[in-house]
Amino acid sequence: SPLTTNIYVSTSSGSDSFSGLSEFTPVRTLAKAQELARDGFPDWVLLKRGDVWNEHFGNWEKSGASSAAPMLISSYGTGPRPIIRPGTDNNGFRILNIPVAHLAVVGLHFQGPLDPFSNRRAGFSVLGPIDDFLIEDCLIESFDVNISLHAFAGPVTNVRLRRSIVADSISLDAISTGLYVDTAEDVLIEECLFDHNGWREGVLPKSQFNRNVYVQWNAKDVTFRRNISARSSASGIAMRPGGVVD
């Protein structure tokens, strides 16, 4: 959009004293990038490929302009996806209490603690209120729950999870699943790979309660289409409310 401002972020070459408005003057932290993004505008927050952030997005509170002009959080440069490692007891990305709309997160890697005995939370904790949210081409791995869509603080509607890898969730003291959907409405899960969620060889045995995908009975209008669900602790998908599974 002509109204878009690009905000560049890099741990290898950035500083929060920079403007963040070019690849040559990137800011360093995710917190500073969110501060610079303008609520209600189709701004792009771009993380440098190959860089690693040992922090988290916290509560994301900024919206895009419209469905045709969303706010985008993605990447720039070449190399592997930017990695976000929130550490113990932190979510990678959370939406809570502040209404958010028209937001896309594309091409990022969220990695929970690799030590299976660490305390961990969710890669994406979407608690509402949010409408028109896209997660695409992301790798989310090694959290208690890799992605949680739960209308706890407000409606969670029109969410699309596309062409992403959701793998290796684990929790030693709670239910663990790759994707959990509860009271959300109009959810599309399309062309993703769900693999090896809810258990770990030699650490956590398979359980009937842990799954690659768990959709609660109170979710509505859920479509699960052209996905691969492999090596789940229990069923590949529990689709309790019914819906479209193709």
For 58-107, write each residue's pLDDT tens digit: 999 999 999 999 999 999 999 999 999 999 999 999 999 999 999 999 99
Number of H helices and number of E strands within the chain? 1, 22
C-alpha span between 184 and 152 (Å, rounded): 9
pLDDT band for 116, please (50, 70, 90 cuts): confident
C-alpha span between 5 and 179 (Å, rounded): 32
Residue 199 sits at the vertex; the CA angle it makes with 94 and 174, to the nearest 5 degrees, is 50
- The backbone torsions φ and ψ at residue 120, rounded to the nearest 5 degrees and listed phi first, read -145, 165
* Residues contacting residue 23 through CB under 8 Å, at least 6 positions apart: 8, 76, 77
pLDDT at 135: 98
H helix intervals, the chain: 30-36
* Residues contacting residue 223 through CB under 8 Å, at least 6 positions apart: 187, 188, 189, 190, 243, 244, 246
C-alpha span between 32 and 237 (Å, rounded): 38
Is residue 14 within 8 Å of residue 32, measured between CB atoms? Answer: no
pLDDT at 119: 87
C-alpha span between 182 and 161 (Å, rounded): 15
pTM: 0.97
pLDDT in tens, 150-196: 999 999 999 999 999 999 999 998 999 999 999 999 999 999 999 99
* % of the chain beyond a pLDDT of 70: 100
